[in-house]
Amino acid sequence: MSKSAEADKDENRDQQRDPGQAMKRDEGAENAGLDGKEVQPKRPKWQKIFSFIFRFAVSVVLLLWIFKSVDLGIFADVVVSPNILPIIAMIGFSLFYVFLGGLKLWILFRDFSPISMRLFIGYFFLAGSIGSLAPAIFGDFTLIGLAKQSQIPVHKSISAILVDRFITLVIALFIFTPFTLIFVLPVKSTYVLAVTAISVALFGGLLCISVRFAPFLFGKFSATKRFWESFSIFFKGDRTNLYTNIFISSFRGIVSGITLILALMAANITPPFIPTICIANSLSILTHIPVSLSGLGVFEGSGLILFETLGLNREQVLAGLLYHRMYIIVWAFLTSLVLTLIFAIKRHSGHHDVNE
């Protein structure tokens, strides 16, 4: 047998062991980086350490301020005696909330790949749990990496995630937040609505200008050109998937508010329904500000201030927010552990079957 035949045989054997590896080689510039070049070096370790220390310090300072502002004796009495039924309901609605997040993002990913909903929801649960324990960007990186295993290129995954994140923030900012301000600020609602209308007009004008000049700006480089081509798919031709994502995102905002209502009910208070729905979505905007660890302290402190303006007891509100936070941490840890083991076992079994 000639050397070339032996080489072909070895290559075929490698493809059978890892079918994705051959595709990565064939894709070439597609997955080597966004523009076909080497992936840029990661941030220096000292920057990551500094970022972690800074966020940790901010979280600690905010938590110290929060606990100093409440009566710890009353808070301890409330937090150790939760109402169990609302907690059980909160867990159910929280899981439904995460499922809706994966569903609306999967709808956008369908424009790029026929990936099954069940597999993608599993990816989303794992990425979401990692994003709850670490900065949210680590969850996004995890989802992008898992999607890449299903042959979805990086720039397409980023396009779908950005569109989904953009829709979520716009709904929270221009729909729920104005009503939050109406409920908590001592000003006439017409003023808030007028400011909101002006903001929407300015934002819409800026968006139209950006979309108009985007092809010219992004077309200069191969990486950004492919990104814009993927990004613009959602706004051209059939927009059914885009509108479906918007509808589910709006409904998911209501589910988010119900989850927070149940957390507060576990602390034996009954918050007003509509204001709490709006506050929950407004708080979600604040948690995207990268100043603390996964919004720790920012969410609780802001929620304490907003709910106090509605006349709710500070100690009970803090207990409810703590139930909400503790569930997120426990759920994220268990989900990360279980799904990581499941994916690892499936991958090992797949490689074992191929080798046989």
Write out pLDDT tens, residues 185-241. 988 899 999 999 999 999 889 888 877 887 777 777 666 777 777 777 787 777 888
Confidence of residue 350 (pLDDT cuts 50, 70, 90): low
Distance from the first to the final alpha carbon of the chain: 24
Interval 239-256: pLDDT, tens: 888 899 999 999 999 999
Interval 144-192: pLDDT, tens: 888 888 788 888 888 888 899 999 999 999 999 999 999 999 888 999 9
The pLDDT assigned to 198 comes to 93
Ranking 34-43, 83-92, 271-280, 345-354 by mean pLDDT, the lowest is: 34-43
Q: What is the SS3 assignment for 181?
A: helix
DSSP codes, 297-310: THHHHHHHHHHHHT
Candidates 250, 98, 86; CA nearest to 167 is: 250
Candidates 227, 101, 232; CA nearest to 156 is: 227
Output the average pLDDT for the chain: 81
Interval 247-301: pLDDT, tens: 999 999 999 999 999 999 999 999 999 999 999 999 988 877 778 877 888 999 9
> Do the beta carbons of residue 342 and residue 126 sit within 8 Å?
no
How large is the angle between the packed helices 314-355 and 72-79, nearest 10 degrees? 50
The overall pTM is greater than 0.85 = no
The pLDDT assigned to 135 comes to 65
- Comparing 5 with 319, the larger pLDDT belongs to 319
Confidence of residue 16 (pLDDT cuts 50, 70, 90): very low
| Locus of tokens 């010219």 | 216
The pLDDT assigned to 4 comes to 46
The pLDDT assigned to 35 comes to 39
45-84 CB burial, b ≥16 within 10 A, e <16: eeeeeeeeeebeebbeebeeebeeebeeeebeebbeebee
Candidates 153, 150, 65, 60; CA nearest to 114 is: 150
What is the CA 341 to chain-centroid distance, rounded? Answer: 22
The pLDDT assigned to 355 comes to 53
| Locus of tokens 């059978």 | 16
Separation CA 113–CA 110 (nearest Å)? 5
Interval 40-79: pLDDT, tens: 445 677 777 887 788 889 889 999 999 999 999 999 999 9
| Locus of tokens 């106090």 | 308
